[in-house]
Amino acid sequence: MIQTLPEDPTLDEIRIAIAPLLGSHAAFDGWNETAVRAAASDLNLDGDIAMLAFKGGAMDMIDAWIDSIDAEMGRRLPPEKLNAMKIRARITALLSSRLEIMAADKEALRRAMAIMAMPSNIVAAARMGWRSADRMWRLAGDSASDFNHYTKRMTLSAVYGSTLAVFINDDSADFAETRAFLDRRIENIMQFEKVKAQAKARQDYVPSLSRFIGRLRYPPR
């Protein structure tokens, strides 16, 4: 969704307006100044001013783009729509909507993932993944504030990351392979949540979170 800018926009407003357009340009130009200037041109903005909104370089541009995907996901799936679904359907819908939003910019996503995987960017990338997972759980209606708050976001981050790795190489119709993979990983989440609930009731069993997350990221074939 392209933002309408006021007559004298702030840098924050320019950043928000440009962010959704970055993917289409980064697919061809990379995550660099050329992509920012091209996106600014789309909005009839001065390229030099636009660059001031992305002083952090490629990771700053990627962060803004992902933030815009989170925002668009929320617009497509407002509370009144999600509340009519069961929790599993909510998580599936939220993750599927992200894939649909990024579908036209898969090459930009591929380039972004390569940059995010660099050792110097891993911490920042993890924060972005956590932020998106947190937003998805909040949209799904989760209000946990105890240990569950963290385990839910860690497992969803792992599922999302592994799904993206499948998505960028998926040439099947309507991303059927990715959707099937996602369904299996969400089933893992639901099973884990069930185990946690049972463990809490018994209070005599602590599930291995690290082992479970490892299975989400590297599922058995």
User: What is the Cα–Cα distance from 148 to 81, expressed in whole angstroms?
Assistant: 24
CA–CA gap between residue 181 and residue 162 (Å, rounded): 9
Contact 66, 82 (CB under 8 A): no
Look up residue 48 and give its amino acid. Answer: D
Least confident of 95-104, 184-193, 203-212: 203-212
Please say whether the beta carbons of 109 and 100 come within 8 A: no
Asked if pLDDT for residue 202 goes beyond 70, the answer is no
Dihedral sign, CA of 156, 162, 165, 169? negative
All domains of the chain in start order, with CATH: 11-217 (1.10.357.10)
pLDDT in tens, 145-196: 778 888 889 989 999 999 999 999 999 998 999 999 999 988 877 776 666 6
| pLDDT value, residue 190 | 78
- Residue 125: what residue type? A
Q: How does pLDDT run across 4-62, given as a tens digit for each residue?
A: 777 889 999 999 999 999 999 999 999 999 999 999 999 999 999 999 999 999 999 99
For residue 14, what pLDDT is reported?
Answer: 96
Looking at every residue in the chain, the average pLDDT score rounds to 89
104/24 Cα distance (integer angstroms): 8
CA-to-CA distance for 175 and 23, rounded, in angstroms? 19
